[in-house]
Amino acid sequence: MAKSKFSCQSCGHQSVQWLGKCPSCAEWNTFVEELEESSVANKGERSSSLIQKISQNKSRTKQNLGNTKPKALNKIESTETIKLSTKIQELDRVLGGGLVDGSFSLIGGEPGIGKSTLLLQTLGILSEKKKVLYVSGEESVEQIKYRADRLKVRSENLFVVSETEWEKIILMVEELDPDVLAIDSIQTAFTNEITSAPGSVSQVREVGARLMHLAKKTGIAVFLIGHVTKEGTIAGPRVLEHMVDTVLYFESVGGHSFRLLRAIKNRFGSTNEIGVFEMASTGLVEVKNPSELFLQERPNGSPGSVVVSSVEGNRPLLVELQALVSKSSLGNPRRTVLGIDSNRASLLIAVLEKKIGLQLYDKDVYINVVGGLELKEPSADLGIIAAIISSFRNTPLDAKAVFFGEVGLTGEVRSVSKIEERLKESQSLGFKRAYLPKRNLKKTKEFNMEIVAIDSLQDLIDKI
């Protein structure tokens, strides 16, 4: 007999009755009735025993089988950290070096952004060395073939099937014995042991848990695609994020054909890394020098425009940042910022007013990071201040200069990390001058750029 329960489609919270507001995540109108079989005692048992069987078939994971017993840390072989390069540098970077056996990765993004394209390209490359199974619930095998031809993916070791039912998928895995499994997408996959619709929280959680079990028990690397809702979260599976090792998020930047891949969670590497791609007719092409991309439409000689250097993960990026200061007709002038933290912007504006006496209380201040990037590092502070001053004075800054440095509440300019990397990137893009913290001066010798050392905001005002 089926009994019904209600699940929050945002966070997975369950209740026996319908609720307007979720007590767990405070979202409104997210409860949906889901039917559940009452005889769930042996739920997933068949799937578990199949997974056990697959794992026994896999000779390379045999040594892991008796793993349920505690083991001394130094007796555990560190084989599982070997990373297999996807040969797509931008993806390797985000994955923290490459693909790990038995890893479980979730790739999220809006419909049409290019998740299936990226996945198929990656699987094509991985299949040169590994046996790969691509299960699509969204496209027929003919459609996948058509796409593969366009992307020039052809391989004897890449197997594709159009299937959505978990019970059938796991049988195929057992038969084919792949090293890599990709499921496109979690919203279409379902297990017939639960009656609720594919894409509901119960299904997402159940299929996700089984995939995790499969990855960890057998060493198969699993990729899972998840669509995101219009609010920008991966639909339903907030529950999934705890299970997977890596959450990659695919988004477009500034509405162009450029795509940004970022790691939101990564058990095997840094989460600050970003990968940049361009969507072309032959598929996603890596953008090797994203700084050029973010600077290409920069206006020359405009007040309020500045180039800052931000380090995302290990990679320095040069980005244009713009400020606009205009007279306000409001009692409470506007502070609108995009791409940086608004509290940080308010703080810098306050420092400017207090320390320099810049009259901003009757001005609207707008700040925007060009290209839709989010800058998280405080090293953009000096650039933000320079842009505000430039717009305030209506005089452009040196177009061939970059700025970086953190600004403190007393108006002091504090040192930042990775100076050499930032300067190297600036120099290679033709910048001639760098405004940077005085304390960072000693690491700047080998560069063929004019270095302007700044120790306070007053110092900056005098030198720009």
Q: Per rule CB under 6 A, is residue 216 in the interface with ligand ADP?
A: no
**Cα distance between residue 98 and residue 269, in whole Å:** 10
**Is the CB of 136 or the CB of 440 nearer to Mg ion?**
136
CB of 141 to ligand ADP, least distance (A): 15
Binding site partner of 269, from ligand ADP, Mg ion, none, Cβ cut-off 5-8 A by kind: none
Interface mask (CB under 5 A) for Mg ion, residues 108-147, using x and -?
--------x-------------------------------
**Is the CB of 114 or the CB of 219 nearer to ligand ADP?**
114
CB of 234 to ligand ADP, least distance (A): 12
Q: Within 58-117, which residues bind Mg ion (CB under 5 A)?
A: 116
**Cα distance between residue 463 and residue 451, in whole Å:** 12
**Is the CB of 6 or the CB of 134 nearer to Mg ion?**
134
**Cα distance between residue 124 and residue 113, in whole Å:** 19
Q: Per rule CB under 6 A, is residue 279 in the interface with ligand ADP?
A: yes
**Is the CB of 116 or the CB of 200 nearer to Mg ion?**
116
Nearest alpha-carbon partner for 372 in 247, 228, 259: 259
Question: Tokens 């306070």 identify what position?
Answer: 456
Amino acid at 172: M
Binding site partner of 111, from Mg ion, ligand ADP, none, Cβ cut-off 5-8 A by kind: ligand ADP
Say if residues 335 and 355 touch (Cβ distance below 8 Å): no
Binding site partner of 411, from ligand ADP, Mg ion, none, Cβ cut-off 5-8 A by kind: none
First to last CA, the chain: 76
**Is the CB of 116 or the CB of 426 nearer to ligand ADP?**
116
Q: Give the up-direction half-sphere exposure of residue 374: CA atoms within 13 A in the CB hemisphere.
A: 11
CB of 121 to Mg ion, least distance (A): 13
CB of 185 to ligand ADP, least distance (A): 8
Q: Within 99-158, which residues bind ligand ADP (CB under 6 A)?
A: 109, 111-117, 150
Binding site partner of 114, from ligand ADP, Mg ion, none, Cβ cut-off 5-8 A by kind: ligand ADP
- Geometric angle at alpha carbon 201, from 197 and 203, rounded to 5°: 50
**Is the CB of 225 or the CB of 356 nearer to Mg ion?**
225
Q: Tell me, what DSSP letter sits at residue 190?
A: B
Q: Per rule CB under 6 A, is residue 300 in the interface with ligand ADP?
A: no
Helix (H) or strand (E) holding 162: strand 158-162
**Is the CB of 113 or the CB of 274 nearer to ligand ADP?**
113
Binding site partner of 226, from ligand ADP, Mg ion, none, Cβ cut-off 5-8 A by kind: none
Q: How many residues bind ligand ADP (CB under 6 A)?
A: 11
**Is the CB of 129 or the CB of 150 nearer to ligand ADP?**
150
CB of 138 to ligand ADP, least distance (A): 7
> How many Cβ atoms sit within 10 Å of the Cβ of residue 272?
16
Interface mask (CB under 6 A) for ligand ADP, residues 55-94, using x and -?
----------------------------------------
**Is the CB of 51 or the CB of 106 nearer to ligand ADP?**
106
Binding site partner of 117, from ligand ADP, Mg ion, none, Cβ cut-off 5-8 A by kind: ligand ADP
CB of 101 to ligand ADP, least distance (A): 25
- Collapsed DSSP state (helix, strand, coil) of residue 429: coil
CB of 280 to ligand ADP, least distance (A): 7
**Cα distance between residue 353 and residue 88, in whole Å:** 47
Among 17, 74, 281, 343, binds ligand ADP (CB under 6 A): 281
* List of residues 6+ apart from 53 with CB closer than 8 A: 174
CB of 89 to Mg ion, least distance (A): 23
Say if residues 212 and 239 touch (Cβ distance below 8 Å): no
Binding site partner of 279, from ligand ADP, Mg ion, none, Cβ cut-off 5-8 A by kind: ligand ADP
Q: Cα dist. 164→134, 199, 447 in Å?
A: 12, 11, 57
Q: Cα dist. 166→91, 115, 120, 287 in Å?
A: 28, 21, 21, 37
CB of 273 to ligand ADP, least distance (A): 20
CB of 184 to Mg ion, least distance (A): 6
Question: Tokens 């405004």 identify what position?
Answer: 435
Can you read off the two tokens belonging to residue 331?
Answer: 């009692």
Say if residues 337 and 347 touch (Cβ distance below 8 Å): no
**Cα distance between residue 210 and residue 415, in whole Å:** 48
- Collapsed DSSP state (helix, strand, coil) of residue 355: helix
Long-range CB contacts (< 8 A, 24+ apart) of 61-68? Answer: 61/102, 61/217, 61/218, 61/219, 64/219
Q: Three-state SS string across 34-72, please?
A: EEEECCCCCCCHHHHHHHHHHHHHCHHHHHHCCCCCCCC
CB of 137 to Mg ion, least distance (A): 10
Residues binding ligand ADP (CB under 6 A): 109, 111-117, 150, 279, 281
Residues binding Mg ion (CB under 5 A): 116
